[in-house]
Amino acid sequence: MSALERMCFLVTGDTRLNDNSIEMYDPKQKRTFLKRTKTQDLALTDFHIGAAVNVYARQLTIVDYGDEFTRGKLAQTLESALVIIKPDAIDQAGEIIDILISNHNYTIRNLRMLSISRKLAEELCMVTFGGKPYFNDIVSSLTGGSSIALEVTKPNAHTHLTTITGPAIVADARAQAAQSLRARFGHAGYKNGLHISSSASSAKVELSAVFNHSAATAARTAVFKNSTLALVRPHAVYAGLTGKIMASIVQNGFRISDAQSFSLDRVNAEEFLEVYKTVVPEYQKIVDQLMSGPLVALEVSGGPDKEHIVSSFREIVGPTDPELARKLRPKSLRALYGVNKIKNAVHCTDLEDDGVLEVQFFFRIMANVV
């Protein structure tokens, strides 16, 4: 369903789902609005309640399933789980996210960096660990620094997550499951790098706490000083490159001081890109790409030249055209992950004076809209 009440967004037939075909039907007028058409940038995992998807420059919000058959099929197909990358593993967040996506086929439905208060940590842990003698140790492992919360989806997500994360105590994880995420990224004891929801029922409570009712009160981690903005463009998110790009930024000596996933409508995208309207010939295509699906906004700080963070970070992002980037700066982000001038993987702030302004657009203005 779309936010335009007269439209019904239909995805039908298992065979057709495999070729990413879609069709739109107007139930009020009782006519087909869009004949069945193949799309390159949409997959079955993109269709869930609350998702914003872009079809031929028209943004649609999915508000419900079209019928009970569809509800049952999709509910059986995908399971949502919460993964929190704890403060002790925050520097390896990009690598962990990439492992979840590339090695284990998880889809990241929602992402945000936050500083977890003790109250929120207790709320997250109460469902599974309430009354346990180690409850306080687990709560403490979630506080004291920045964390990244992820809503991930996959069939039987919790069963699989339990296996790949390993035992809760790091020493046990290293002894019993040496390749598990906690064995690889945990520090010691219950500072094990990762918190996961234990079941679909606990995930519902914990995801709501992190992304809904408690989200507004969670401390924002953005510094809004000597920082710049990076956007992982929707095509790169769709291609599963979010973790790789985040890891590359950190490997180049920068720090990701805030992060959140967003879906922009045309008004927001045009407002953000307004400075390029009269100077970039591809402006309209860039707007269309930015609103074509979820993006991940990153506040980037630190780096080799903190006083000139915008220009120093722009160096590692590379030229706008990935083909040129591959010739001039083959190790730059756009050279590594870009496709063309429109789908060049990463937006970064161009002008030194605009770094904090662009960060504020997402982490003060847009963060209060979603």
Query: Would you name the residues annotated as active-site residues?
Result: 347
The residue behind tokens 């949409």 is 42
Which residues sit opposite 260 in a β-bridge?
112, 297
The residue among 3, 5, 19 whose CA lies nearest residue 54 is 3
Which residues sit opposite 21 in a β-bridge?
38
User: How far apart are the C-alpha atoms of 53 and 55, rounded to whole Å?
Assistant: 7
User: How far apart are the C-alpha atoms of 347 and 333, rounded to whole Å?
Assistant: 10
**C-beta of residue 94 within 8 angstroms of C-beta of residue 250:** yes
Angular region, 224: left φ>0, alpha ψ -120 to 50, beta rest? left
Residue positions counted in the chain: 370
CA dist 308 to 245, 303, 315, 317, Å? 21, 9, 11, 15
Token pair of 272 as six digits: 């953000």
Token pair of 13 as six digits: 């037939």
User: How far apart are the C-alpha atoms of 337 and 240, rounded to whole Å?
Assistant: 11
Token pair of 11 as six digits: 């995805």
- DSSP character for 50? T
- Written as one letter, the residue type at 293 is G
User: How far apart are the C-alpha atoms of 156 and 81, rounded to whole Å?
Assistant: 10
